[in-house]
Amino acid sequence: MGDLGHHAPYMLWVAGDLEALEQSFVGVVGTRQPTGTGLNNTSKLVRMLNQPVVSGGAKGIDAAAHRAALDIGLTTIAFMAGGLDRAYPLENWSLFHELVRSGGALVSEMAPGTAPSRFRFLQRNRLIAAASRELFVVQAAYRSGSKNTANSARMLGREVFAIPGAWSDRVAQGTNAMIQEGLAKPFHLGLTPRLDLNDERRRVEDAIRNGAEGEVQIAVESGLPLTAVESMLNLIELEQDPPSAVIKL
Domain boundaries, the chain: 2-186, 197-240
The Cα angle at residue 231 between residues 228 and 233, in degrees rounded to 5: 105
**Most confident residue range from 44-53, 188-197, 222-231, 234-243:** 44-53
Q: Is 205 exposed, middle or buried (0-12, 13-18, 19+ CB in 10 A)?
A: middle
Minimum mean pLDDT range among 2-11, 96-105, 186-195? 186-195
Topology adopted by domain 2-186: Rossmann fold (3.40.50)
Element (H, E) at 186: strand 185-186
Distance CA 35, CA 49 (A): 21
pLDDT digits (tens, 9 = 90+) for 217-234: 888 787 777 767 877 787
Q: Is the pLDDT of residue 68 over 90?
A: yes
Confidence of residue 73 (pLDDT cuts 50, 70, 90): very high
pLDDT at site 243: 41
Q: What is the mean pLDDT of residues 8-19?
A: 91
Phi, psi of 132 (to 5 degrees): -95, 135
pLDDT band at 155 (very low <50, low <70, confident <90, very high): very high
* Cβ atoms 156, 150 nearer than 8 A: no
Nearest to residue 161, comparing CAs of 131, 190, 194? 194
- pLDDT at res. 6: 72
**Any idea how long the chain is?**
249
CA dihedral 50, 51, 54, 55 (to 10 degrees): -20
Q: How many DSSP H helices and E strands does the chain contain? A: 9, 8
Q: Looking at residues 144-160, what average pLDDT do you find? A: 92
Residue 220, pLDDT score: 78
Q: In this predicted model, which residue has the larger pLDDT, 244 or 87?
A: 87
Q: What is the pLDDT of residue 247?
A: 32
| Residue 151 to residue 147: CA distance in whole angstroms | 6
pLDDT bucket at 245, cuts 50 / 70 / 90: very low
Is the pLDDT reported for residue 189 higher than 90? no
Handedness of CA 198, 200, 202, 208 (dihedral sign): negative
Distances (CA, A) of 37 to 30, 58, 163, 169, 231: 13, 18, 11, 11, 36
